[in-house]
Amino acid sequence: MTTGTLITVAPTGAESAKAEVPALPVTLDELLLTAKECEALGAAVIHVHLRDDEAQPTLDQGRLREAVAALKESTDLIVQLSSGGAVTDPEADRLAVLDAGPDMASCTMGTLNFGDDVFLNRWEFIVDLHTRMQERGIVPEYEIFDLGHLTALQRLLGKYGLPAGGHVHVDFVMGVPGGMPGTTSALVAAHQALRDLPEGTTFSATGVGRSTIPVMLASLSAGGHLRVGMEDTVTYAKGRSVESNMQLVARAVGFAQLAQRPPLTTAEARGLLGVPAAAR
């Protein structure tokens, strides 16, 4: 069992509207403040979606480059860009995310129903994303929304080799309508399926909405890591809205400490994930 806990914060996402969730960080200044606050509490990775001037999801290359540079200058966090974007984003724009020079990027391992929409991830697109990250030294986090995605990852690694950095890290995204449920039994099944992946593969888990706390507890008990943030839940408790991403990171840190698996520092997280040290 890993002795420490990797904590990732996903502060914004592409689904929630600023008008409905006023605390959602959508400007660069709001993102930077969130990043600094969450790093101080114990987050080591920031999973980034961006918004435009109207607070709509965007993969604008200029904004991506500006955000990556600002986050690297202002924090020691591992900067992980989402290559998923919004479900309507074209593949070319999603691939171009890598041009912004992040430390990491997400790589979703299959297509799924995503609420009322379809999150399309064709095999050819997955291969293209994986191999481009290999070439550029960008470390992937493989996003697993259902058990079949782990089989697809086994196939990907068998055909195209280990990722940049040499370490395989996956994130179980649980509780999305259309994907695996956010339950302990589902996490156990996903965890057992990891045995078919390279030795030393690690995992984080994300519980969407009301599954946040059950998934955190199950992940910690299985030796896994945590991703939390307003991308995944905007309710702290029944009838109580999240006031900031700090709340969610602080709760994750508290749970990790109770499990006697304190948060990894950013340097420890880089060592675990195979991400090179930050350039200064």
Residue 240: beta bridge partners?
237
Q: How far is CA 229 from CA 53, 100, 129, 153, 235, in A?
A: 22, 23, 25, 25, 10
Name the token pair of 247.
């709340």
- Terminal Cα distance for the chain, rounded: 32
Q: What is the pTM of this model?
A: 0.96
Q: Which of 46, 106, 95 is nearest to 71 (CA)?
A: 46
Q: Are 25 and 11 in contact (CB under 8 A)?
A: yes
| Residue 161 to residue 172: CA distance in whole angstroms | 21
Domain spans in the chain, listed from the N-terminal domain onward: 7-273
What is the DSSP secondary structure assignment for residue 177, as one 8-state letter? B
Q: Which segments of the chain have a pLDDT < 70?
A: 1-2, 279-280
* pLDDT at residue 52, rounded to an integer: 97
Q: Are 43 and 225 in contact (CB under 8 A)?
A: no
Q: Is residue 31 classed exposed, middle or buried when 0-12, 13-18 and 19+ CB atoms within 10 A define those classes? A: buried
* pLDDT at residue 2, rounded to an integer: 57
Domain 7-273 class in CATH: alpha beta
| Residue 162 to residue 198: CA distance in whole angstroms | 9
Q: Which of 182, 106, 101 is nearest to 146 (CA)?
A: 182
* pLDDT at residue 1, rounded to an integer: 47
* pLDDT at residue 3, rounded to an integer: 83
What is the DSSP secondary structure assignment for residue 227, as one 8-state letter? E
